[in-house]
Structure 1
Amino acid sequence: MNARVATGGLLDRLAMGLSGLCLVHCLATSIILALLASAGGLLFSPMVHEVGLTLAIGLGAFSLGRGVIDHGFMMPSAVGGLGLGVMAGALTLTHGPEETAYTIIGVAILALGHDLNRRAGI
């Protein structure tokens, strides 16, 4: 049982790290875009966002789903799912401050879900 909890905690920490990287990407892209329009174009590539969201969904589904199996609490998974939904919804917006704000909110909610999942496994 302890090995499962340790592995689950590791996955949640990894997922929270990925959420942090997403947050840094969003903020850096906005700043770089304001400073250097040509560099911002590379970071604003739709492929970067689609691959990042795909990784977040895959890691989130595995880690949060495993948490439900290990500790039986659904709330962390529901909170994380809400965060993923907000992030996915942000992809439908045009590039700009609204998209950045919704993505950051989604990332924060997802990170909260992973933190709740990690704490439930302790």
Structure 2
Amino acid sequence: MNSALQSIRSRFDRAGLVLSGLCAAHCLLSILIVSALGIGGDFLLAPEIHRYGLVIALIIAAVAIGWGAIQHRRAVPFVVAMMGLTFMGGALAVPHGMYEVVLTVIGVSLVSVGHILNLRAPLPDTH
């Protein structure tokens, strides 16, 4: 049963990594597409995308990293991911543009590192 739960948590961490990568790609490509081609600004830079993305990131991080912190009893993955989520939340407080992209990319990078640390954290010896 424990390995099944570990597998589920690993899937959440992997999903968090994929979503973090997609978020970073969205931020960078949106700026490039809107700047270079002048199209898609209303959709690609819509604040709702960022709000929903943050909610999804919060849910996945809470499940995967919170669960991992309970299992392996290490705070570092949790602290790193929460710093990342804080940067992502801060990005919602600034106007669209370079500051928002920088804060978001820093945030998703830290959340990704938190997921990686969570995946690599050894479980404590139960003997």
TM-score w.r.t. length of structure 2 = 0.90
| Bigger Rg, which one | 2
Q: Which runs of 5+ in 1 are unaligned?
A: none
User: How many angstroms apart in 1 are the aligned matches of 2:38 and 2:46?
Assistant: 13
User: Match of 1:10?
Assistant: 11
User: How many angstroms apart in 1 are the aligned matches of 2:51 and 2:122?
Assistant: 30
What amino acid is aligned across from residue 19 of structure 2 in structure 1?
L
Q: Which runs of 5+ in 2 are unaligned?
A: none
Deviations 1:15-73 (A, max 9, x none): 00000010110011101110233412211111111111110011111111110121111
User: Match of 1:56?
Assistant: 57
User: How many angstroms apart in 1 are the aligned matches of 2:13 and 2:21?
Assistant: 12
TM-score w.r.t. length of structure 1 = 0.94
Q: Which has the higher helix share?
A: 1
User: How many angstroms apart in 2 are the aligned matches of 1:3 and 1:73?
Assistant: 21
Runs (4+) of structure 1 exceeding 3 A deviation are none
Across the two proteins, how many residue pairs are aligned to each other?
122
User: Match of 1:40?
Assistant: 41
